[in-house]
Amino acid sequence: MAEDLKHRLLETNPEYRELAFTHHTLDDRLHELEAKVYLSDQEQVEEVSLKKRKLHIKDRMEVILRQHGTTAHPLSA
C-alpha cells in the first residue's frame, strides 16, 4: 500500500517528486564520499551536511505521505 502511494505521489505531486529527486542526488554524493579511503576536512563537513539535508527531506516526504494516506483512508486510523 505504501509503495503504491509513493508511486502515485511521484507521478502526481510535484513537491514530492522534487524531494525524491533531491534525496536520490544527495544519496549518490554520499556514496561517492563513503567510497573514499580518506576524507578531507571539507569533505567531512560536506558529509555531515548532506546527511542532515537528506534527513530533513525524508522527514518532509513522510509528512506528505501521511497527509495523503490519511486523506485516502480516513477511517483506517
What pTM was computed for the model?
0.82
Tell me how long the chain is. Answer: 77
Q: Which residues of the chain have pLDDT under 70?
A: 1, 71-77
With the CA atoms of 10, 22, 54 and 33 taken in that order, what torsion angle do they form, in degrees rounded to the nearest 10?
Answer: 130
Of 73, 65, 58, give the one whose Cα is nearest residue 7: 65
pLDDT value at residue 40: 97
The grid coordinates listed for 50 are: 548532506
